Amino acid sequence: MVNKPLLLAWITSIIAMVGSLFFSERMGFIPCTLCWYQRILMYPLVVFLGIAFYRNDREIYKYILPISITGIVMSSYHYALQKIPSMHEFSSCTSGVPCTGQYINWFGFVTIPFLALIAFIFVTIMMFILWKRK
């Protein structure tokens, strides 16, 4: 029987990874420091969730939740830096591409950190569903 929450979380992490690589490698968007941190949190999820799906490991939430919740915090902070002008003084990016920059701004609110935030939230929700079904 297919474990749907696990499969959906894995697919979400794959889409997030491919999307981030598309933005940087195909579109030429240079990742800022906080973008790199979000990648560091997202990319391993592809491997961990893939192995867990293959093995039907229903205990994987124990390892994924700390990573995905940290990703939510990181992405939320990054999104706030972009969208709240008074937070620009709290930016942790001091060299290279500014973390306040917005390569995309679809519909006036969808930026790359927002996309990462949605992915981390969705993975987290799927892990909580997995936990509750255990």
- Both tokens of 6, joined, read 């696990």
Predicted TM-score (pTM) of this structure: 0.93
Closest CA to 64 of 16, 129, 123, 2: 123
pLDDT at 107: 95
Q: At what angle do helices 33-55 and 61-83 cross, to 10 degrees?
A: 150
Residue type for 17, please?
A: M
pLDDT at 60: 96
pLDDT at 94: 67
Q: Which residues of the chain have pLDDT under 70?
A: 90, 92, 94
Domains of the chain and CATH, by start: 4-133 (1.20.1550)
